[in-house]
Amino acid sequence: MNCTALSLTQLSGRLAEKALSSVEATEACLRRVEQVDPKVKSFIRVDRDGALRAAQASDARRAAGKTVGVLDGVPVALKDMLLTEGLETTAGSKILRGFIPPYDATVVRLLREAGAPILGKLNQDEFAMGSSTESSAFGPTHNPWDLSRTPGGSSGGSAAAVAAQLCFGALGTDTGGSIRQPAAMTNTVGVKPTYGRVSRYGVIAYASSFDQVGPITRTVADAAAMLQVLARHDARDATSHRVDAPDYSQGLEGGVRGLRIGVPKEYFGDGLDSEVGEAVQRAAKVFEKLGATLTDISLPHTRYALATYYVLAPAEASSNLARYDGIRYGHRAQGIKSLKDLYATTRSEGFGPEVKRRIMLGTYALSAGYYDAYYRKAQQVRTLVQRDFQSAFQNVDVVLSPTSPVPAFRLGEKTQSPLAMYLMDVLTLPCNLAGLPGVSVPCGFTRGGLPMGLQLLGRPFDEAGLLQAARAFEREHDFSSRWPPLTRDARADC
């Protein structure tokens, strides 16, 4: 049996029935990584021994009748932004090569406590700054649906690994769309939780008021199962909210009858690929057929969201990345004779072009004489974006839009134009400005066979409602059961 084609929840059921062991499933994933990942390049490093130890421990617990939940024994993988005790963590950057964290991020600890074997660390744009994985110091990841194209970013390695059947679920981080956009480009499900729903403790910071950790999975039920483990208050994260998470799986099949769905006109304008727009409009009609009500709405300050984000996020990055100085950990320039030269040379050698660009943008926006004109003004516009959503949610329950304005584009196609790359997040980053939850669910394929994604946005802490709506749509199609041609090139039978 090709067990790597099972969904996370299907594998969990097979493990519970003892039709499979965690060791068998983990070894199957590791074989697929060896066979397929040289083409996809989603893994930066594989922790074979650690994963097998965790799988053996899971099988022992199950034999003793002491299983610890749905994820017990299910192999997963992690974006390289998440600290892992004893396992190198680099955030896709040369400046952190050789850094071995002394502790786990809270989300990593929760996965370990849930019994999930962790296969390794996944590729990403450097410090999560990018939309294609092409800024990674380890080279780009390739989309399993077309190896000449990007899987999206910055969590492109996470999405590609799930799509290529290399793991049953993965964690990504979403600062401006970095979970949802790659999910849309790889036919996977991506969840960006409400800001504060999931702990950021032990997550390497890009922009601290935006960053949020979430799952990328094959199905909505899989995403609900992973989010259930992650959605905990954490006293070590000052931004973690004391809002109890519901049982995300309990109401998953509840349907959407009576749901009020807002369709914002600003998300269907210039730059939207015609096939993507048509697919999302068809999806909206599916919701209507299922009993939901569609309402045209306006989010007028969306037009300023991209500019606002690219003032605020780089400003926070400028501050957060100041700690990488070559003194305490990571890369250190050699042959330096002064402290000033140590800082300058270490950072010049360690950071890639996109990270340097954003540091300079952020430092400029925060500098004397420009703070009020740029940073303060951007914070004011951020409030206006938040108020747009607050107003909309007085009349609708969910906002529906495309996730990415285009399907997966070719590697190298946008690297010469930063603005063209930044525009890949134009439909996802307003959600981060407002701190809202968002879900991307597969909604079809282009005539060329490339996946497309539908985005659903909800009220703060209403991940359950979004997952229920996403599941209602998922039930109407077979998109989640389709696999890229690459998955037929190798089998990893259990």
Indicate which residue of 7, 21, 22, 79 is catalytic.
Answer: 79
Residue 79 known to be catalytic: yes
Rounded Cα gap, residues 62 and 52, in angstroms: 15
CB contact at 8 A, 347 and 122? no
Please give the backbone phi and psi of residue 171, each rounded to the nearest 5 degrees, phi first. Answer: -100, 140
Tokens (6 digits) for 286: 């599916």
Rounded Cα gap, residues 127 and 234, in angstroms: 23
**b/e string for 68-84 if b means 16 or more Cβ within 10 A?**
eebbbbbbbbbbbbbbb
CB contact at 8 A, 91 and 329? no
Which residues are within 8 A (CB) of 204 and not within 5 positions of it... i.e. 6 or more apart? Answer: 81, 82, 83, 89, 91, 96, 127
Closest of 181, 185, 176, 172 to residue 216, by C-alpha: 172
Sign of CA dihedral 252, 442, 116, 209: negative
SS3 442: strand
Which residues are within 8 A (CB) of 258 and not within 5 positions of it... i.e. 6 or more apart? Answer: 291, 292, 293
Number of H helices and E strands in the chain, helices first, is: 15, 11
Rounded Cα gap, residues 318 and 358, in angstroms: 7
Residue 112: how many other CB atoms lie within 10 Å: 18
Closest of 247, 208, 176 to residue 438, by C-alpha: 176
Rounded Cα gap, residues 42 and 144, in angstroms: 10
Closest of 212, 231, 32, 7 to residue 119, by C-alpha: 32
Residue 440 known to be catalytic: no
Indicate which residue of 22, 178, 318, 404 is catalytic.
Answer: 178
Run of H or E residues at 393: none
Q: What is the DSSP letter of 131?
A: S
Indicate which residue of 7, 131, 136, 154 is catalytic.
Answer: 154
C-alpha gyration radius of the chain: 21
Residue 208 known to be catalytic: no
Which residues are within 8 A (CB) of 172 and not within 5 positions of it... i.e. 6 or more apart? Answer: 79, 124, 154, 155, 158, 159, 178, 179, 182, 190, 213, 214, 215, 216
- Hey, which residues are catalytic here? 79, 154, 178
